[in-house]
A = this chain, B = another copy of it.
Amino acid sequence: MIHASGAAAKLQAAGGVRSLTFDAAQPLQLSNGENLAPLTLAFETYGALNVDRSNAVLVCHGLIGDQFVAGPNPVTGRPAWWPRIVGPGRPIDTNRFFVICSNVLGGSMGSTGPASPAADGQPFGLRFPQISIADIVRAQSMLVEALGIQNLFLVIGPEFGGMQALHWASAYPRRVFACGVVASAARQSAQNLAFAELARQAIMADADWRNGGYYAHGVRPARGAAIARAALSIASDAASEVRHRFETASAKERFSFAQSNEEARAGASHVERLDANSFLYLSRAMDGFDLAADFGGRLSNAFQDSQTRHGLFAFTSDWRYPPQETRSIARALIAAGAETASVEIPSAKGHEAYLADEPAFEAALTGFIDAAASARGLALQGGQ
């Protein structure tokens, strides 16, 4: 049992997946007014918490991601998803920081989600409550506190994770020393709403979806999920790459240029990696994110009196979360008087440039983190 701030949570480990479970005495209060209990959150940690508990970093994963940010996923066998950024000697240095990454509420890598058993022992399916980014963050806050950590040195994430980081900085300004927002936005663009809607419709149109009840039938909406994957895959490429794939594919393929064998495999492991119903719930939560709307339509109101240092990172060829989105966040933060470093990285790699070899991104992120660490009085790398 882990005890912290009066909360008791049961620690479990199965099949390489560690998790904390909060019982009915500590329900998660959802934005829609419902309570969710029991609540299990699967998580990984890397590095060691220092004595003052001041070096904790929370990494929030993207829509199709998991808690295995810096090490292989024992369930899918996939490698760490952000090894260039999190690890020994990396910008988020696990020799220096205590890194926590948890599978989001509604996910399917060990945290409570649509595939989890409801009170009747059967999977929730569509009985799972509607959730928001605020709910996902509130659950992360319960986990962090149960781990005995009150304040986070850094909360950071890409895309969906960047939205969570922004919400953390807005909802808990005193508990977040630094906030990193990577290839993300303060709300979904119409284009992203449209892509997500198509992905959801593709899943729901798959006969094997069974109105969300496919678990009981031993099937899964694999075709629909593969299209959903393709939707995100295509949209994550740089525009030039999409055209290139079309031009190279059109010669040999009749219609489809998105699903190379490699992607078909990726699609398949994506299906393993993210339950289709989880995709529906999480993408809907992402689509509903609109931080300005929560503050009377003025994004700067979300960051009044913020003491948090913000680092914003965008990639020039990212047309899903283009630099304009990041610039508008920067304007709002600066208007609110918040310390803000906004960086635009020249890249040809599209939205997923944040996963790629982009030395300028790593350099800027390292500079932002090191400056925040010395401001926080954390020892530099190597302990100097």
Contacts and interface: CB of A to CB of B under 8 A. Distances in A.
Interface of A: 126, 130, 189-191, 193-195, 197-198, 200-202, 204-207, 223-224, 226-227, 230-231, 234-235, 237-243, 246, 250, 254-259, 280, 284, 287-288, 319
Nearest to A249: B197
25 contacts: A126-B254, A190-B237, A190-B241, A190-B242, A190-B243, A191-B239, A193-B234, A194-B242, A195-B198, A197-B230, A197-B258, A198-B231, A198-B234, A200-B255, A201-B202, A201-B256, A201-B258, A201-B259, A202-B202, A204-B256, A205-B205, A205-B206, A205-B223, A254-B280, A254-B284
Q: Which residue, of A198, A207, A241, A243, has the highest number of chain B Cβ atoms within 10 A?
A: A198
The 3 residue pairs across chains A and B that have the minimum distance between CB atoms: A190-B239, A190-B242, A194-B234
A280 B256 CA distance: 9
A288 B259 CA distance: 18
A258 B193 CA distance: 10
State the majority secondary structure of interface residues on A.
helix
A32 B95 CA distance: 60
Given A191-B319, A319-B190, A254 B130 contact: yes
Contacts of A206: 205
Contacts of A287: 246, 250
Contacts of A224: 205
B200 A198 contact: no
Nearest to A288: B250
A228 B280 CA distance: 19
Contact of A205 (B194, B227, B254, B319): B227
B191 A191 contact: yes
B230 A198 contact: yes
Contacts of A202: 198, 201-202, 205, 227
A67 to B, nearest CB: 25
Contacts of A205: 202, 205-206, 223-224, 226-227
Given A226-B205, A227-B202, A234 B197 contact: yes
Contacts of A241: 190
A121 to B, nearest CB: 23
Contacts of A234: 193-194, 197-198
